Amino acid sequence: MILFIFVKDHIGLLIITSGKFFKSEIIFMKTQGTKSATSRRDAMKMIATGSAAGILGLFRSPLFQAASQENKEAPAYAKGMPAVKISKVRAIATAPAGSNLVIVKVETTEPGLYGLGCATFTQRAEAVITAINSYLDDFCRGKDVDNIEDMWQSAYVSSYWRNGPVLNNALSGLDEALWDIKAKRANMPVYQLLGGKVRFAVPCYTHASGQTPEEVITSVQKFMAQGFRHVRIQLGGYGSVGTLGNNPDFKGAGFGAESDSFMDQRAYLNAVPKMFESVRKACGEEVELLHDMHERVEPIDAINLIKKLEEYHPFFIEDPFSPENMEWFKQLRAATSVPVAMGELFNNINEFRMPMVDQLFDFIRIHISQIGGITPAMKVARLGEWFNIKTAWHGPGDVSPVGHAANCHIDLATWNFGIQESVSFSDKLQSVFSGCPTMKNGYMSVNEVPGLGVDINEKEAAKYPITTKSNWIVRKRDGTVIRP
Ligand code: MG
């Protein structure tokens, strides 16, 4: 019902509506003194003559329409989900396969609803646990689980000093757990929230290594028989550590720690082309071969080695230079067209921007927990689409099954996906983590349940305590530290 009210130079509409409850609104409009006002005389004329057009004109006014909108009950689809708050954030540490793994569990005000995220920084696990339990928990309590982007942005700057691996890993655990929660609330796997599948499963490469080229060949053939079409080949450890050369002079001199490793860089540079030649001869042309240099030789030597590998057409060569030597990429690009993968040591997505804009490498090697989770990784993945640079997320043993699942969900939804690094999950690992991604014929698939699909058995996890002991130091013959 609508009643007209006149007060001095204003005309008013009293609107009374009935729905679930009776509601009333009054709208006043000035009738004199401004060009846009409806005059009292015109309004009277409208009412007196019952001018349909005039009355409709009043009803079309923005004020009238806004008042009408407020009285409509929002349809169910526009209401969104009820607010859920974070009640606790805590770290769970475990090492069922030897590597320290750190998981973030985000608990909520909704009974039974929680999320899991990977915060694994194997070498400094206790530092990440402190960041989670002592700082992130307090920061997150009472906040809305749905505002993932805002949570990421605000947690990122909440310490003012930022952009380091400890805080980034803690942030990743939170970010992945929030995506897990949002997908559980939506009753969908996470990849659906990222845009849905662009492939039925995720092509992967696995690791073949041996002390000799013959051992590497045997390992490659084993994986080819399992259906892998991409295999990374390494002689011994990274840089052939422990394979080529023994008894370095620094050990005899008592320099460094007893557990420090030795790398003979010249022996490595000579051995890798021979390994490629042997594997190509024995395994044929169909299998894609990859190799990780792990930033262990001088930049100019890295360029010369990659040029030598051209004739074996590798799928990609990984980490030719340390992040401190990014300027060398321009010379590498000028010297050879062998595809290159880079980025697992980058701390911040801004480090990817200029090398990608300049198309200095072909594959993005993001370690998702290192970079801060799914939210920032998706931004780099989408940037790659503009420059035809593909993803090749880091997926070694020091990524938890929750992190491997996060990799896989992004891979499923990213058009410019390149390849995914994979490892097998041992029985011990699967006794702690249920719903791990699965491998078949060289393809990885996720557990198709709402969320990331991986859960943790905390009782089992407690059986495998983490350790603070690790030594990644590699030295030259004279004891000089090699910077990876
Ligand atoms: Mg690498």
Average pLDDT over residues 367-387: 97
Interval between CA 297 and ligand 1 midpoint (Å): 14
Tell me whether residue 464 is one of the annotated catalytic residues. Answer: no
d(CA 214, CA 151): 51
pTM of the entire predicted model: 0.84
User: How many A from CA of 316 to the centre of ligand 1?
Assistant: 11
Distance 364 CA to ligand 1 centre (A): 11
- Confidence band for 62, pLDDT divided at 50, 70 and 90: low
Can you give the pLDDT at residue 241?
81
Average pLDDT of span 114-134: 98
What's 136's DSSP letter?
I
CA of 344 to the centre of ligand 1 (A): 6
* 27 CA to centre of ligand 1 in angstroms: 67
Residue 56's pLDDT is what? 46
pLDDT bracket for residue 238 (50, 70, 90)? confident
CA pair distance 330, 335, nearest whole angstrom: 9
Confidence of residue 53 (pLDDT cuts 50, 70, 90): very low
Determine the length of the chain.
Answer: 484
Confidence of residue 1 (pLDDT cuts 50, 70, 90): low
Model pLDDT for residues 189-198, shown as the tens digit of each residue = 999 999 999 9
Distance, CA of 366 to CA of 347 (rounded, Å): 9
Q: Domains of the chain: which residue ranges?
A: 2-72, 86-189, 192-449
Query: Does 351 score more than 60 pLDDT?
Result: yes
Q: Is the pLDDT of residue 59 over 70?
A: no
CATH of span 192-449: 3.20.20.120
DSSP states of 321-343: S-GGGTTHHHHHHHH----EEE-
CA of 318 to the centre of ligand 1 (A): 6
At residue 72, the pLDDT reads: 67
Residue 80 pLDDT class (50, 70, 90 cuts)? confident
Fold match flag (86-189 vs 192-449): no
- The alpha carbon of 191 and the centre of ligand 1 are apart by a number of angstroms equal to 25
Side-chain-side CA neighbours of residue 100 (13 Å): 19
Rounded mean pLDDT, 26-33 = 47
Q: No. of H helices and E strands in the chain?
A: 19, 20
469 with 125: CB under 8 angstroms? Answer: no
Q: Which of 291, 294, 404, 409 is catalytic?
A: 294
Q: How far is the CA of 310 from the centre of ligand 1 (A)?
A: 19
Query: Please, what's the largest Cα pairwise distance for the chain?
Result: 111
| Domain covering 86-189 assigned CATH 3.30.390.10 in the classification | yes
The Cα 426–Cα 408 span in angstroms is: 18
Single-letter amino acid, residue 264: D
Mean pLDDT on 319-340: 96
Q: What is the mean pLDDT of residues 138-149?
A: 97
Q: Which of 205, 238, 268, 443 is catalytic?
A: 238
Among 125, 75, 118, 136, smallest CA distance to 100 is for 125
Residue 226: closest CA among 444, 411, 430: 444
The number of beta carbons lying within 10 Å of the beta carbon of residue 200 is 8
Q: Verify whether residue 367 is a known catalytic residue.
A: no
The alpha carbon of 413 and the centre of ligand 1 are apart by a number of angstroms equal to: 23
Query: Which range is most confident: 54-58, 239-243, 290-294?
Result: 290-294
CA distance 484 to 472: 9
Name the residue type at position 68.
Answer: S
Residues by chain with Cβ below 5 Å of ion ligand 1: 292, 318-319, 344
Q: Which residue has the tokens 């569990």?
A: 105
- Residue pair 2/14 in contact (Cβ under 8 Å)? The answer is yes
